[in-house]
Amino acid sequence: AQKVTQAQTEISVVEKEDVTLDCVYETRDTTYYLFWYKQPPSGELVFLIRRNSFDEQNEISGRYSWNFQKSTSSFNFTITASQVVDSAVYFCALSSGNAGNMLTFGGGTRLMVKP
């Protein structure tokens, strides 16, 4: 069985603050992939990043960065200098061989960035 936990259900920050969204996962597989998706108010889920279990390098893309730590089974997402347009629900997800091709999602974190 695999599981993704996003303990923060809602976060509110003021524009320009940095914010980190936590994601903890469980899987028995040694090969797996982790994803982050963004769901803006319009509703469509947008793919942000994919990371495989053998690549623990952190990644930065503009104001976004991801910290993957296998030792703590975490794949956290940080937004630097947040903007109002970052307001959305963010989902962390996991796929692994034992679960076939099913992507298991966390419960999501609703981020509200206030001007």
Partner 1 sequence: GAGVSQSPSNKVTEKGKDVELRCDPISGHTALYWYRQSLGQGLEFLIYFQGNSAPDKSGLPSDRFSAERTGGSVSTLTIQRTQQEDSAVYLCASSLRQYLDSPLHFGNGTRLTVT
Task: For residue 108, state whether it binds partner 1 (rule: CB under 8 A).
Answer: yes
Return the number of the residue (18 or 47) whose C-beta is nearest partner 1: 47
Contacting range for partner 1; rule: CB under 8 A; set: 15-23, 66-74, 78-86, 89-97: 89-97
Using rule CB under 8 A, residue 7 touches partner 1:
no
Q: Which is nearer to partner 1, 32 or 79 (CB)?
A: 32
Q: Which residues pair with 5 in a beta bridge?
A: 24
- Residue 36 · residue 48 · CB < 8 Å: yes
State the Cα angle at 7 between 5 and 13, rounded to 5°. Answer: 135
Binds partner 1 by CB under 8 A, chosen from 32, 68, 75, 90: 32
- Catalogue the E-assigned strands of 23-106: 24-26, 32-39, 46-52, 59-61, 64-69, 74-79, 88-96, 104-105
103 sits near partner 1 (criterion: CB under 8 A): yes
- 16 burial (CB, 10 Å; 0-12 / 13-18 / 19+) is exposed
* Selected binder of partner 1 within 45, 67, 80, 87 (CB under 8 A): 45
- Binding part of the chain for partner 1, among 13-21, 60-68, 70-78, 99-107 by CB under 8 A, reads 99-107
